[in-house]
Amino acid sequence: MERSRGRNAGLGLAVVSALAFGGSGVAAKPLIQAGLDPLHVVWLRVTGAALVMLPVAWRHRALVTRRPALLAGFGLLGVAGVQACYFAAISRIPVGVALLIEYLAPALVLGWVRFVQRRPVSRSAAVGVVLAVGGLACVVEVWSGLSFDAVGLLLALGAAGCQVGYFVLADHGGDGEESADPVGVIAYGLLVGALLLTVVARPWGMNWSVLTGTAYMQGSGIPAVLLLAWIVLIATVAAYLTGVISVRRLSPQVAGVVACLEAVVATVLAWVLLGERLSVPQTIGGAVVLLGAFIAQRSTPKAAVPEPVARGEGVPAAAEGELSSGSRSA
């Protein structure tokens, strides 16, 4: 009975995490349209969340000396890289399209397993990859010569690539006697990401007056500072924490599947709040992308080939890792 309650609570938290992450793009786009550079929005999001998570970072300060490479890599790829590429992408292409492209990450992780770690992958995993790529072709309407901005599509693919790094680093972070608490990794990932983004975004040149003004969603004015507060507190801090706790109460596979709701939530919110409607083929393609991601995330690699594998090169977090429930851009 107790186990059932814990599982139900974990499922609820996973849904909350997906809903929270899914709302970041629709809150960020009006700020970008109001005059903020996408990198500045990312900097505000990550820096604000890092400040909120400072007490957590202090509690896990031993990680700085125990796992410095993990924290640096997680901050660079899992935080700064994913966020920057995704927010830059939504400034050029629809939110739903950007997030669906990012959900190629589970398929790309399987490519890492097959071609970098040289481990065989299951047939169902290969089917998931094919479905995801085929669905993506429908989303971007390849028969029309790509109906969206090419740079925006490349940025979305960059977000997917950075998310692969997130999955792989999360896997290494949970291995062996030196396993790292995921909450601490998230806290320091945000701090490292904030420092890196400060150098790249140069916030001292930001148009700060936008934050004291009004941003618009389909003609309706909303205080810009409220949108920023949502992005920092709900779509970043609450989303990451509920996602991590849900993984501990559920299996990583179940939590990862629930996280696919993020793309659905973002697409629906972008339709309702921003007027970004997808065509019927694009909607079908989006469903196929999510189906492919679902299959890819649930598929574990086959047994390793007889070649020696370096210590720590286990199954990536997209299939087995402790942090696999986080997309963590949207």
- Which of 241, 240, 213 has its CA nearest to residue 227? 213
The predicted structure's pLDDT at residue 304: 44
**Could you read off the pLDDT of 143-177 as tens digits, one per residue?**
665 667 889 889 999 998 887 777 677 655 555 54
Host H or E run for residue 321: none
Amino acid in position 164: V
Tokens of 162: 């950075």
Count of alpha carbons within 13 Å of 236, Cβ hemisphere only? 34
Please state, in angstroms and rounded to a whole number, the distance separating the CA atoms of residues 185 and 282: 36
pLDDT higher at 40 or 169: 40
> What are the distances in angstroms from CA 128 to CA 96, 123, 292?
20, 9, 4
Least confident of 85-94, 108-117, 246-255: 246-255
**Could you read off the pLDDT of 45-96 as tens digits, one per residue?**
999 999 999 999 999 999 999 889 889 988 998 889 988 898 889 888 888 7
Is 309 a domain residue? no
Host H or E run for residue 60: none
Structurally, the chain folds into a number of domains equal to: 1
| Rounded (10°) angle between helices 239-249 and 252-259 | 140
Residue with tokens 């090169």: 313
Provide the H-helix boundaries in the chain. Answer: 2-22, 24-33, 38-52, 54-59, 63-66, 68-73, 82-90, 95-102, 105-111, 123-139, 150-173, 182-201, 224-229, 239-249, 252-259, 261-274, 280-298
pLDDT higher at 176 or 239: 239
Is 47 a domain residue? yes
What pairs with residue 217 in β-bridges? 220
Provide mean pLDDT across the span 262-288.
Answer: 82
Tokens of 27: 């809150």
Please state, in angstroms and rounded to a whole number, the distance separating the CA atoms of residues 170 and 197: 21
Arithmetic mean of pLDDT over the chain: 78
Domain boundaries, position 46 = 2-298
Q: What angle (nearest 5°) sits at the alpha carbon of residue 21, between those of residues 24 and 292?
A: 120
Is 325 a domain residue? no
Reduced to 3 states (helix: H, G, I; strand: E, B; else coil), residue 215 is strand
Reduced to 3 states (helix: H, G, I; strand: E, B; else coil), residue 118 is coil
Host H or E run for residue 221: strand 220-223
The predicted structure's pLDDT at residue 50: 96
The confidence band for 319, taking pLDDT boundaries of 50, 70 and 90, is very low
> What are the backbone angles phi and psi of residue 220, rounded to the nearest 5°?
-95, 125
Is 30 a domain residue? yes
Is 326 a domain residue? no
